[in-house]
A and B are shown apart, each in its own frame.
Chain A
Amino acid sequence: MTNFYTLTQTELAEAAKEYKFIWLTLFFVILGVTQPLINNYMDVILENVGGADGITIEPNRPVPSSGEVLLSTISGQFNQIGLIILIISFMGLIASDRNSGMQDFILTRPVAIPSYLLSKLAGHWLISMFAIAIGAAVSYGYTIFLFGSFSFSDFLLFLLMYSLWILYVISLAILISTFIKGPILIAVTTIAVSIFLILIKSFNHLVFQLSPGGVLNVAENQLLPGGEVNHFSILSCGVFIVFNIWLAKINLNKQ
């Protein structure tokens, strides 16, 4: 267990040395600020920079509720461009260790493979959730400032569910990097699989709802109640994470 703590600490120290905490947070803050501002000031922007003479915006259009704006921030920005940058930022999490020989160095010590893999999982999860939580909090602040109040406990619950999805994505990246050698190829495969999971989560069938992306349905339901949700998908997402790590361990053992 002490191995796990030490390895996680080195992971965090490395990220701090690469300014990862700073720029990943800045990136998510930019994403989080942009969406509510664009939603609120669309007519001003179109008038001034759109070059859109003749386009009129319905003056009595329905104003989106703050829950809807938060949802569009998350599913439109964080889950697309944000997810891609996040995966690119940890594409080398095992590949760079292997290429520099650090993996052999660590695994010839009395370090169990599970604690090595779990330290990767925990370290990168902490880094990502630090950035995402600050970005989402800034977005939340702007949204309640521009669109009216929204329950803070719902927002926290949403972040909790969303962190499970991030945990799944990281475990997926770990699993794929035990199969594939090159970091770029790892990033592309992970992005493709996770976007595919985001696409199939909204089909209304038990198999799709219990797929790893199903936890996103539960998370989005915190922001905008109404849809059918299956709370078992939280459990199934956890099972998938454990399964990924287990498979990665078997794969590393073989090598």
Chain B
Amino acid sequence: MNTDITALLEIDWAKILPFALPIIFFNLLLIGVALYDWFKRKDRIAAPYAWLAAILLFQSLGPILYLVIGRKVIRHDYSRETS
């Protein structure tokens, strides 16, 4: 992951935007699908906030891994059964 933020300021956006746009759009759509599912299930899955960070920070691989693995790992919540 590139963490040098200042490089973003030097980019000639007008030149790079036309072809970066579809890639950014589809990536945002993928993140949106993953986030929608995360909001529905965040009380049931294990380590929900770690998965939220994974979805938001890792480009395209994070949402996929969440949708394949994360949403199926259900938390064992024994406290709820007794109450």
Contact = CB atoms under 8 A, between A and B. Distances in A.
Interface in A186-226: none
A194 B76 CA distance: 36
Interface stretch (A26-34, A112-120, A153-161): A26-34
A51 interface: yes
A44 B18 CA distance: 12
B11 interface: yes
A185 interface: no
Given A23-B34, A41-B19, A48 B26 contact: no
Contact of A29 (B11, B26, B33): B26
Contacts, number: 53
Interface residues of B, number: 22
B69 to A, nearest CB: 8
B80 interface: no
B29 to A, nearest CB: 6
A231 to B, nearest CB: 36
A89 interface: yes
A27 B16 contact: no
- Chain B contact residues: helix, strand, loop or mixed: helix
Nearest to A34: B23
Given A23-B33, A23-B34, A51-B7, A85 B64 contact: yes
A64 B48 CA distance: 45
Nearest to A29: B26
A23 B12 CA distance: 31
Interface string A20-62: 1011001101100110010011001101110100000000000
A19 interface: yes
Given A29-B26, A30-B60, A33-B26, A48 B34 contact: no
A19 B22 contact: no
Given A88-B68, A89-B68, A44 B15 contact: yes
B37 A19 contact: yes
Contacts of A29: 26
Nearest to B20: A37
B63 A48 contact: no
A27 B16 CA distance: 22
B67 A49 contact: no
Nearest to B67: A23
A18 interface: yes
A31 to B, nearest CB: 9
Nearest to A85: B64
A96 to B, nearest CB: 8
B46 interface: no
Given A22-B33, A27-B60, A37-B23, 7 more contacts: A19-B37, A23-B30, A23-B33, A26-B29, A27-B64, A37-B22, A88-B68
Interface of A: 18-20, 22-23, 26-27, 29-30, 33-34, 37, 40-41, 44-45, 47-49, 51, 85, 88-89
Interface of B: 7, 10-12, 15-16, 19, 22-23, 26-27, 29-30, 33-34, 37, 60, 63-64, 67-68, 71
5 contacts: A23-B67, A40-B19, A47-B12, A49-B16, A51-B7
